[in-house]
Chain A
């Protein structure tokens, strides 16, 4: 996993560990303790989950895992995974989980087979962590990189999510592999990963403009010390200068991968594939309370009492209110402004900011979406003002937790006590959480002024 010579090297240059070679620093100086602990953490959670599932009516396993495994069972019988209601993913996920559909008649083996998907998700976590370390190690000591990667690897929340059987960890490893291959300038691999990730979960399409923008001719040229080319002055020249072989290669490979997979799935499973994997997200009227600032307004706008015709009430965003424009700030930030402003300075931070903006400004936002940016967080923290300025950092974390807690409290009153907390409680709480997220996003963006080109 890691270079043995680096393992032995003491992390002298690391500012936080250079003064006291404590147990903690020796823990991070070698990969084995970190990865073994990360694996052990997941193993403990995994085994605890098996115990809880077998003994308690309240299940440890995520409901989504039952959706995936049901879909895998349909696939194993030669049927479509979309036979399972609420399966809204690519068939590849069901294929990956095919072992969970096998039974041998031996209870212990069957339980292990059924849980194999969780093992896959947990391993994805570990690989994502290892890729994090690799990317971080490009600009810092290996042990310091490992320490930041441990924010992901030893994070109990991350370990819980994957061992409960949520597939978000797979996205984590895909996005980290994408970033890692881009940074090592392996364009074809990056295109394959980008196309696959977008096929898998749509949202990684936001990374395409950032990666394309980052991949300019200077950066991609193999010779390190050639003088910069003459600046193109006229607009056609600029356009031509923009179209570089690497960019064309990335665009082609990602497009071919994305559309190739979609065609293959469409030909295998027909319209239900399109309907459930993609179109559902356009037509869904899923405004059960969530963190999105638009949530209360969407509920209001979708109801028959506030819209003019029954037809328009069945399609969100057709009422002509702000909900129909909600995608604008989200996509302008995530796909245009942040890539243009940040990608060339610091691609990992740009991707973090993009994801953060996408999730914060999304029309639906649940806590599993937080995982999408959490995997990128360790790449930003080393040069973050949240770490440099402790008060700033603690304030940000405190506000994030507190505003989320406030929302959760209002949500609890609604969901479990049946109190009508939609207005003003839940609405204001979601706006508060949104503004805190915007402030954090602004700080992340501002911090990229302190980064050397990436």
Chain B
């Protein structure tokens, strides 16, 4: 079992080694309060896992649980990879094909661990990501059930530091639990947003704990696809003083140095439009020096802005509507790059078993749209559709669908001929790498993602990165007369028509009516 605690400050903020107090006997480190992102990572080998986690991971080749807070939070390079807020599950069963039994167990266990996870099995609830891997998403506001569960299972009743650390997860920005059978390792990674953090950690033998107090750096030798980190590393209970370090590594997740907000345009109706407002029309600084010179492989031509949406099943995008170039252009969209398949275009929400759908939309390149390139802010509109939700009582005929913010980023994809060399540039493991995000596998290997920071709308009352759309539904409080009223109307209508038919029948028996009868009728009228 290994633990890694990392504080990362922004470029230019760094801490003198003298500011830290390291005690190798008690295995503690203390320091001042700094503004930083904190990441805690616990790595467990398979035999170290608690029993129920062993059974869960036994059925999985790959299992990535990613929870993202619904509250906006700031991050620092290189911990930039973003996903829509909520509970994400990327799962590849150990045996090929849909394994419903083990996925059903997985769903039950996840329900216990996280609370309110309502998936059932692969074929019913999941969407396919290809390659025998599957995706599930659900909105999940907090980790409170996870914290309760973990405290109950992992902390002894007297161990207050264990429960204090778990309680701290309530302020986390994200939590990742990743299992890869090939490595036989489970990694639990929690991330706390960029804010004031007190430097303090205590070793928990026999676990090896390493603490890094780092900041982003830009050494002169830095290549375009790399980022630099420098700072102080300490292995608790082993080192008596922090040792300075400085390293560079290629990173696929970069900071676009801009932000966006998302909100529904009013009125939403049954076809709400999600508007993305991006703060900058300028592409990210693709090269460290700011100009795209020769040794920079990423030309702006191969870089485009994208939005990756996870749409709970109450709301969906129509891929056919999103196929007309003129229509897309009018919304500042470019192409629908990907959608999970199939998406039912008609069914009501309450008969669909799947979690929903995910789409990857390429946005218009603001530099190519004359009306956009001049201004500083630009918008893109994503047309969506609501399903019918179940009738409800006590809410005046309305329900709601919560939709998480999309992940918005610029992706620089290597061209066909440079794919191999680009892929080689990004060895699978860097110390802060994140893969299996749902969208990264939709791009060629070697693609670099420049993340645009999600921010709550200026008008929003809460820091939430979830938009709610009000959905009109049938009001059960008023539905008392629907059955009787409909029956009555149909009976009246039917009776009237039958009565008129009876009149016809009487006037001529419904049989051949000759000229004479016709004439006779004319006379009687």
Contacts and interface: CB of A to CB of B under 8 A. Distances in A.
Interface stretch (B211-219, B245-253, B385-393, B404-412): B385-393
A333 B500 CA distance: 12
Interface stretch (B11-19, B262-270, B281-289, B430-438): B262-270
Query: Chain A: interface residue count, which band?
Result: 35 or more
A85 B508 contact: no
Contact of B494 (A329, A342, A414, A449): A329
Interface in B288-316: none
Among A219, A417, A438, the most chain B Cβ lie within 10 Å of the Cβ of A438
B351 to A, nearest CB: 5
Nearest to A417: B267
Given A296-B482, A302-B348, A345-B510, A333 B494 contact: yes
Nearest to B486: A297
Nearest to A292: B486
B498 interface: yes
Interface stretch (A55-63, A105-113, A157-165): A55-63
A270 interface: no
A381 interface: no
Contact of B482 (A300, A313, A452): A300
Contacts of B347: 285
A155 B397 CA distance: 40
Contacts of B267: 416-418
Q: Is the contact region of chain A dominated by helix, strand, or loop, or is it mixed?
A: helix
B443 interface: no
Interface in A43-64: 54-57, 59, 63
B483 A322 contact: yes
A70 B268 CA distance: 30
A293 interface: yes
Given A86-B346, A314-B351, A303 B390 contact: yes
Nearest to B396: A420
B482 A305 contact: no
Given A286-B346, A313-B350, A446-B503, A344 B320 contact: no
A201 interface: no
B397 A423 contact: yes
Interface in A309-346: 313-314, 321-322, 326, 329, 333, 337-338, 340-342, 344-345
Contact of A345 (B351, B396, B508): B508
B473 A59 contact: no
B493 A449 contact: no
B515 interface: yes
Given A297-B482, A423-B474, A452-B515, A441 B268 contact: no
A357 B497 contact: yes
Given A85-B345, A304-B350, A441-B497, A420 B507 contact: no
A297 B485 CA distance: 10
A329 B267 CA distance: 40
Interface in B462-505: 470-476, 478-479, 482-483, 485-487, 489-490, 492-494, 496-501, 503-505
Contact of A344 (B345, B511, B521): B511
B398 interface: yes
Given A341-B510, A416-B269, A442-B496, 8 more contacts: A300-B483, A303-B474, A418-B270, A419-B472, A441-B497, A445-B500, A449-B503, A449-B504
Closest 3 CB pairs of A and B: A420-B397, A438-B493, A57-B330
